Chains A and B, each alone.
Chain A
Amino acid sequence: MALTTVHKVDDDALVTRALSGDTQAFGELVDGYGRVVFNLALRMVGNSEDAHDLTQVTFVKAFEKLDSFDRRSRFFSWLYRIALNESLNWLKRRKRSGELDENLESGQPGPDEVAAASQEEALVQSALMDLTPEYREVIVLRHFQDLSHREIGAVLQLPEKTVKSRLHSARERLAIALRKRGYARS
């Protein structure tokens, strides 16, 4: 079972109200998407504390930039793009500073994540962290956010064909990373 379904909130009406300064309406968008954005960030960066921070940053940025949101596109695509950009920027900064914490460096989830997840989940998350962010994001969007190829294309601003090709390569690499960890299923 894939992780999430997009919340059926009336995004457009809520965006309109939020644009007029109604923070309560924006709060409803947070209610609708907080969990999915948190999970998106969690799978991208691999630990819940950083995912929490990134989720907050994502929503604050979304609020600040709401007037630049193109109403012809879907709110969740736009929000996911902000969340992914924030996650990617965070990963780049960590890499650049050479201060990947031990969990990320070893591709292992942190103790909190291990405690909360099954062994299988922990292995998958750990293998996921072996992928480059470009591959990781398509896996996360497809398998954990349950987006279609077209929706992934809208979030990443890529043609569907590229999304498919990237997904195929990402799965190949993920299977290798799982095998490397002695994971038998794949």
Chain B
Amino acid sequence: MIERGYEELMQDVLDRQATPEQTAELHHWLAANPAGQARFEELEALFWSLGEVREVAAPTVLKEGIMRALRARAPAASPAPTRSRRPGFVLRPAFMFVAGLAAGAISYGALTNLPAWPPGENPAAGSMMPSPGAAPGSKVIRRSWSVGSSRVEAISWQRAGAPVVAFRIHGETSLEIEYPAETLAIRAISQTRAGASQVRSEPGRVLISATDRSEFELELEPGGPPLPLHVTLRAGSSVVGGDLPLEIPR
């Protein structure tokens, strides 16, 4: 058993935080203490192993992505984004739009880390795909549409008593989400994964144009019967679409 003072001193010496006098004191002590010497060698080995871990080059597109997001965040035509401050909301650092205020507005997406996409059927497992944070017992509804090389995966679930839908977009795509404005409002739209994109929101409709992988989340405010959203995906001259049911709180 090594005295605590010497254990600390050993780590200070290895951390290069000890004074020359302290270092000399330790080596003097080690010379007469085989157990201490063994412990010191053990620590040295650990430090060595940690030192073997190499620095990894950052992705070449890192700076480009950051600068693109910064350039896009404040176009003159855009409203100032509003960040979610609601307690309990899993904040994704994304640009948030209050739907009621967003009519006719155009905003550009930024980036974020993600919630995790529901497990299973997930072609991108291991990425920061979304987690719905669904309420216990609440259903998660999935739909997907493909046209050409473009694809949209959508899920809807319930979070904190309100329906939430998320879209994961692959490829150059125009996505139109229609909803009954008389019974449903959009509380917020957030881009939960970086990707060049444009979002336009107006009552009853959200239009998203994306040129690469992007993810968006819509928080909804139900005021009536649980009518589904209608999703239309356009890529080039091809169009597909369908309904995305909502998990409305009972």
Residue of B nearest to A111 (CB): B126
| Shortest CB distance A104–B (Å) | 9
Do B93 and A23 touch across chains, with their CB atoms under 8 A apart?
Answer: no
CB contacts (< 8 Å) of B67 on chain A: these are: 23, 27, 30
Chain B contact patch, size range: 35 or more
Residue of B nearest to A174 (CB): B46
Do B110 and A60 touch across chains, with their CB atoms under 8 A apart?
Answer: yes
- Determine if B31 is an interface residue (Cβ-Cβ < 8 Å): no
Do B113 and A124 touch across chains, with their CB atoms under 8 A apart?
Answer: no
| Shortest CB distance B12–A (Å) | 8
A34 with B58, Cβ < 8 A, contacts A144-B53, A167-B11, A186-B45 known: yes
Do B54 and A56 touch across chains, with their CB atoms under 8 A apart?
Answer: no
Do A56 and B42 touch across chains, with their CB atoms under 8 A apart?
Answer: no
28 contacts between A and B (CB under 8 A): A2-B51, A3-B54, A3-B55, A23-B67, A26-B70, A27-B67, A30-B67, A38-B62, A42-B56, A49-B126, A50-B128, A53-B111, A55-B58, A56-B62, A56-B66, A60-B69, A60-B110, A94-B116, A97-B133, A99-B118, A99-B119, A124-B52, A144-B50, A164-B11, A164-B12, A168-B11, A185-B46, A186-B49
Instruction: Give Cα A25 to B114, complex, Å.
Output: 28
CB contacts (< 8 Å) of B59 on chain A: these are: 38, 48, 52
- Determine if B131 is an interface residue (Cβ-Cβ < 8 Å): yes
Encode A94-127 as 1/0 by CB contact (under 8 A) with B: 1011010111000000100000111011001100
| Shortest CB distance B198–A (Å) | 18
- Determine if A35 is an interface residue (Cβ-Cβ < 8 Å): yes
CB contacts (< 8 Å) of B200 on chain A: these are: none
User: A185: which of B45, B127, B131 is its contact (CB, 8 Å)?
Assistant: B45
Do B93 and A61 touch across chains, with their CB atoms under 8 A apart?
Answer: yes
CB contacts (< 8 Å) of B12 on chain A: these are: 164
- Determine if B194 is an interface residue (Cβ-Cβ < 8 Å): yes
Do B116 and A99 touch across chains, with their CB atoms under 8 A apart?
Answer: yes
Count the A-B residue pairs with Cβ separation under 8 angstroms: how many? 163
Which of A52, A61, A118 has most B Cβ within 10 Å?
A: A52
Within 8 A of A (CB), among B33-52: 42-43, 45-52
Do B17 and A149 touch across chains, with their CB atoms under 8 A apart?
Answer: yes
- Report, nearest first, the 7 A-B pairs whose CB atoms are least far apart: A97-B131, A38-B58, A143-B50, A3-B55, A99-B116, A185-B45, A186-B46
- Determine if B8 is an interface residue (Cβ-Cβ < 8 Å): yes
Instruction: Give Cα A21 to B105, complex, Å.
Output: 23
CB contacts (< 8 Å) of B93 on chain A: these are: 57, 60-61, 86
Do B70 and A23 touch across chains, with their CB atoms under 8 A apart?
Answer: yes
Instruction: Give Cα A35 to B116, complex, Å.
Output: 25
Instruction: Give Cα A15 to B83, complex, Å.
Output: 23
| Shortest CB distance B19–A (Å) | 14
Do A142 and B53 touch across chains, with their CB atoms under 8 A apart?
Answer: no
Do B55 and A93 touch across chains, with their CB atoms under 8 A apart?
Answer: no
CB contacts (< 8 Å) of B115 on chain A: these are: 93, 97
CB contacts (< 8 Å) of A42 on chain B: these are: 56
Which of A35, A99, A117, A124 has most B Cβ within 10 Å?
A: A99
| Shortest CB distance B188–A (Å) | 17
Encode B189-219 as 1/0 by CB contact (under 8 A) with A: 0000110000000000000000000000000
- Determine if B125 is an interface residue (Cβ-Cβ < 8 Å): yes
Do A53 and B15 touch across chains, with their CB atoms under 8 A apart?
Answer: no
CB contacts (< 8 Å) of B15 on chain A: these are: 142, 148-149, 167
CB contacts (< 8 Å) of B45 on chain A: these are: 185-186
Instruction: Give Cα A18 to B53, complex, Å.
Output: 33
- Determine if A131 is an interface residue (Cβ-Cβ < 8 Å): no
CB contacts (< 8 Å) of A171 on chain B: these are: 11, 43, 46
User: B113: which of A3, A23, A31, A50 is its contact (CB, 8 Å)?
Assistant: A50
